[in-house]
Structure 1
């Protein structure tokens, strides 16, 4: 965990990846409705 704190860039990448994953998983759900 400490390594992530020392590397804010990796945390930003993780946030972006999570956002993309959530967006990709959320869009089909909305269209299915």
Structure 2
């Protein structure tokens, strides 16, 4: 795996996406 092309902005975008997914799953579980 290469680190070429990996920018801090890309890492932030990935973490934000994962955070949103986990929050969505948490909300769905709370509704049931």
Considering the TM-score relative to the shorter chain, is it more than 0.5? yes
Kindly tell me the number of residue pairs found equivalent between the two proteins. Answer: 31
Q: CA RMSD in A?
A: 1.8
How far has the Cα of 1:31 moved from its partner?
1.1
- The gaps in structure 1 that reach 5 residues or longer are none
TM-score (norm 1): 0.68
Question: For the residues of structure 2 that align with 1:3 and 1:17, how far apart are their CA atoms?
Answer: 20
Q: TM-score if structure 2 supplies the norm length?
A: 0.69
Give every structure 1 segment of 4 or more consecutive aligned residues whose post-TM-superposition deviation is greater than 6 Å: none
**Structure with more contact order per residue of length (Cα contacts < 8 Å, sep ≥ 6):** 1
* Runs of 5+ consecutive residues of structure 2 not aligned to the other structure: none
